[in-house]
Amino acid sequence: MSCRSLQRLIASSLIVVLAVATAPAFAAPAPAALTGTVFAGDIATPLAGATVVVTDVNGVKVASQPTGTDGAFSIAAVTPGRTALALETKDGSYAVATPVTLAPGETRGVHLALKAASEPNGEEKKKNKKGGVAWTGGAIGAMTAVIVGFVTAAVINDSTKSNNPSSPSQPGN
């Protein structure tokens, strides 16, 4: 084999090795998932028949899932990153103000509630010329969707147990 052929073989081999080694870096990130429960305004009654909508940072709908009779939903294959949520019911669509950021491969649990909007604060109230109060924004009967909690999974380490066999001084261990 000539020196030139050997150089080409080594160069080709290096290209193949680099391509294989860097392929995972260029692969799409593992999808994330959202699970949880939607509640009515009392944050105790599950809200059946609502649809949880996931949008990307540009407001493009990427996934949706209706809630079951127990208010539960599960949305798989969500693109990782910052997402926005909304609830759709027969009465309208309600954006959730708090965005959710998902890591690749993460399954995040959220509890959402459809709540009555509160009365406008002092900044939304303005005095009219006759000295009365005029509302400048928000309707008292309006609804809003809010995140009322995140579901987390944790491993609980029970340090009261040991791997030692039972002994007369410590029965049951």
Domain map of the chain by residue range? 32-151
Are 46 and 37 spatial neighbours (Cβ–Cβ below 8 Å)? yes
Measure the CA–CA gap between 139 and 101, rounded to whole angstroms: 30
- Backbone phi and psi for residue 24, each to the nearest 5 degrees, phi listed first: -60, -30
Q: Per-residue pLDDT tens for 144-170?
A: 788 887 765 443 444 444 444 443 444
Q: Which residue has the higher pLDDT, 41 or 105?
A: 105
Q: Is the domain 32-151 a CATH 2.60.40.10 member?
A: yes
Q: Per-residue pLDDT tens for 51-81?
A: 999 998 888 999 999 999 999 999 998 989 9
pLDDT, average across residues 29-33: 91
> Under DSSP, is residue 46 helix (H, G, I), strand (E, B) or coil?
strand
Scan for tokens 């998902």, then name that residue.
102
